[in-house]
Amino acid sequence: MTTSTTPVSDQVVGHVFTRTGRRPDSTPIVLGPDGVHYAAGERRTQIDPRYGVLRVRMTGSLERGERLLGTFDPELQWTAMAELQCANCGRPAEPADGGNLWVIPRPRIYSLSETAHLDTTTPPVCSPACLRQCLYGCPVLRDGQIILRAQSAVPIGILGVVYDSITGRPVSTEQHLDHVAFTDDDRLDLTVAHFLTRRLRHMTEVPLTCLDILSAP
């Protein structure tokens, strides 16, 4: 959910959507002996303490500017995904029977079998009311979605900009982020992380009728 840039009122949808005026910090990224980091500092003091990765720094207000439909803010998405907060309102998304509630863009091919999984950067939702707001407000979800409960949602990696280990130049872009697993020792230290990814397992699809809400128009 990172393509559309349609403004939307705060009253419609989207705690994790970015705002006009928000952009990545322009401080240069440099290559050091232990990986990439922002200039005028050391990597060990800049990495995320929980996941050990360098996260993109954002500038601009989180309070002012219109929200942009379908475009995650890296700072807000990371917190929501790490803490399992609602994508719509930001409150804790407490699990119910069957696990947390998720509404994610519908994959072209997927399975909900016992051994299957889905990887997503979309945080969960806390209630049918917030799910309804997401369906009505997000153009990506309106193009097709799957609603499910997942008993397991384990962090498995990041989407980010990868840098070359020799030249220190980016080999991916902010428009085309690479997925890097936490087990990828060769690239993890060379990546500026934008979004946190979780792997959903033990999933059950939830029909809209079971949530007592109508499909998005």
The three-state secondary structure class of 201 is: strand
Name the pLDDT band for 168 (thresholds 50, 70, 90). Answer: very high
pLDDT at 207: 84
Q: Judge whether 195 and 77 are in contact, CB under 8 Å.
A: yes
Sequence letter at residue 161: V
Give me the phi and psi of 93, to 5 degrees please. -95, 90
Domain boundaries, the chain: 2-211
Rounded distance, CA 114 to CA 200, Å?
11
pLDDT at 214: 54
Task: Tell me whether residue 183 is exposed, middle or buried, using C-beta atoms within 10 angstroms of its C-beta: 0 to 12, 13 to 18, 19 or more.
Answer: exposed
pLDDT single digits (tens) 170-206: 999 999 999 999 999 899 999 999 999 999 999 999 8
- What residues pair up with 145 in beta bridges, in sequence order? 105
pTM: 0.88
pLDDT single digits (tens) 46-86: 999 999 999 999 999 988 888 888 899 999 999 999 999 99
Q: What is the mean pLDDT of residues 26-42?
A: 96
Give the list of residues 6+ apart from residue 141 with CB closer than 8 angstroms, or none. Answer: 1, 103, 104, 105, 134, 135, 216
Q: What is the mean pLDDT of residues 30-36?
A: 96
Residue 8 has pLDDT above 80, yes or no: no
